[in-house]
Chain A
Amino acid sequence: MTRTGSVMYGWIWRLLPGNPAAKALTSLVLAGLVAAVLWYVVFPWLEPRLPLDPTTVGR
């Protein structure tokens, strides 16, 4: 009845092919890819749009 574990990540886990070891490896690679896209694409785009760390007076 009540399943323990993650719904969303469980669903992704079941979609991944191969045995648990292969699944684990693929998920690591996927997580790395997501982190890289965030770090090199999303965050550099987002950061100038946020009023972070202003230093000047006036304007």
Chain B
Amino acid sequence: MRAALRVTGELSLTAGLVILIFCAYLMWGTGAYTAGQQTLLQQQFLQEKGTDEPAKLGRIQLGGAVAMLAIPKFGDDYRYAVVEGVDWSRLRMGPGHYPGTAMPGKVGNFVLSGHRTTYAAPFNRIDELRRGDDIVVDARDARYTYRVTGKRVVAPTELDVIAPVPGEPGRKPTKAMITLSTCHPEYSAAQRLIVFGELDKREDRLG
């Protein structure tokens, strides 16, 4: 009886240790995969940008590189290649663009989703964004700077936030908007944190 209890105790301690290592894996192990994929996506983006084929602008394959995302508030190192698609296998690579939503700089809603805690956690700090902060999107044709206009915490079922006019599904968009989504609270699946922004300026690519 004593021995059985002790073995149970030891197994529990072992399980606890394994779970700790699993948490470490989620935070750092998954990021290694993302880092590798980001390198590939960024190379792909730079190559395609060089070809300068306007016809290609409209068709980006699922899993392809859409744009480069930078948020100056998070430092110069904060640069992610945005991948096309938001299913699990794409979001492992980096922030993903919802297929069917507007492309960068175009009228409508450019909707991105990114992990908050795992897979390099690109959207870990988007809760720190405030009205007026810049979100810089380097697309193939130009650099678009969006300005944060607001932030909301919503239920995971709230599809309205990714409508062409965020929050007003069915309305025809007249402005270029950006929407970022991630999980909320951190480490939880209960809600989603949504950051809204509006296009502020467009700069043509030099050369």
User: A residues touching B (Cβ–Cβ < 8 Å)?
Assistant: 2, 6-9, 35, 38-39, 43-44, 46-48, 51-58
Nearest to A52 among chain B residues (CB) is B118
- B109 interface residue per 8 A CB criterion: no
B44-102 with Cβ < 8 A to chain A: 86, 88, 91, 98
CB A40 to nearest CB in B, in angstroms, measures: 9
Q: What residues of A have a CB within 8 angstroms of the CB of B137 in the complex? A: none
Q: What residues of B have a CB within 8 angstroms of the CB of A43 in the complex? A: 21-22, 25, 29
User: B residues touching A (Cβ–Cβ < 8 Å)?
Assistant: 2-3, 6-7, 10-11, 18, 21-22, 25-26, 29-30, 86, 88, 91, 98, 113-119, 123, 154, 156-159, 161-162, 181-183, 187, 189, 192, 194
A51 and B91 CA atoms in complex are apart in Å by 13
Are B29 and A55 in touch, CB under 8 angstroms? no
A38 and B29 CA atoms in complex are apart in Å by 11
A51 touching B11 in the complex, CB below 8 Å, given contacts A7-B3, A43-B29, A58-B159: no
A57 touching B158 in the complex, CB below 8 Å, given contacts A47-B26, A47-B30, A52-B118: yes
